[in-house]
Amino acid sequence: MKFEKIPNISVDCVVFGYDINTKSLNVLVMKRYLESKTGTDVLVDDYVLTGYHVYEHETLDGCATRVLKELTGLTNQYKKQFKAFGNPDRLTNEKDLIWIENEGFNLRTITIAYYFLLKTEDVDLKNNKHQEKWFPIKELPELGFDHRKIILEAYEDLKVKCLSEPVIFKLLPDKFTINEVQELYQSILGVDFDNRNFRRKLIKKKYIIPLDEKQVGVSKKPAQLYMFSKDVYEKMFQKNYLISI
């Protein structure tokens, strides 16, 4: 099979990782670095999303899966294709033009953007060949192309989605405390919830299953652990259309 790239169509991946210790929603980006031919000047030194051209034989989903695996070694993570970006001027700032000339790709490239939801701790950044780095969503570095826009639109989509679908559990370990769910919601939405109200509402949900286990290795009183049951959730959702506009 030939591995021919489609020169004007790419996939870009916004990898969201939640760090349960720092309570921070992070984005994984990689270094974009280029020196002049003489090696005396740094022409480009910033960060970009990880992405790649789509191969002729490949589906868009397949391309996104390949890109994530190349970056993190991970497969089978939650992914969502959320938007295509195709403005004619999306790759035309000065550094982008230098970069594109060096890499020889098409100025009018349309990118299909995906986001992934995973746990920061699942990604091993030792010896990473792309100089990847996590940045908190609130402290993004200088980004090339239209990648800041892509990240912020992915974040908006996630904010809306986490209110109506249980995607949030993809960012948590399998066993979690109610407090950890609340902290994650607060981190994503940038608001504070009343502890008692939040707990009361969440433990009422049939798909939040209390376990016969408590936290270990914590200095304070260990809290009850719970898990999310996708099975129960899906059965409930099929029966009830909850209109919550």
Return the residue matching tokens 């670095």: 33
Do residues 81 and 116 lie in contact, with contact meaning Cβ atoms separated by under 8 Å? no
Of 5, 31, 66, 83, the one binding a second copy by CB under 8 A:
83
And the tokens for 147?
A: 């990648």
Q: What CA–CA distance (Å, rounded) separates 155 from 61?
A: 20
The residues, ordered by sequence, that sit 6+ positions from 35 with a Cβ below 8 Å of its Cβ are 41, 42, 43
**Is residue 184 a contact point for a second copy (CB under 8 A)?**
no
CB of 126 to a second copy, least distance (A): 34
Burial of 101: CB neighbours in 10 Å, binned 0-12, 13-18, 19+: exposed
CB of 173 to a second copy, least distance (A): 18
Q: Which is nearer to a second copy, 60 or 223 (CB)?
A: 60
The 50-69 site mask, x for binding a second copy (CB under 8 A), equals ----x-xxxxx---------
**Is residue 204 a contact point for a second copy (CB under 8 A)?**
no
**Is residue 9 a contact point for a second copy (CB under 8 A)?**
yes
**Is residue 170 a contact point for a second copy (CB under 8 A)?**
no
Phi and psi, residue 10, nearest 5°: -130, 170
**Is residue 146 a contact point for a second copy (CB under 8 A)?**
no
Burial of 161: CB neighbours in 10 Å, binned 0-12, 13-18, 19+: middle
Of 84, 97, 125, 211, the one binding a second copy by CB under 8 A:
84
Residue ranges that bind a second copy, judged by CB under 8 A: 6, 8-9, 54, 56-60, 81, 83-88, 108, 110, 112, 160, 162-166, 168, 185, 189, 191, 201, 205, 233, 241-245
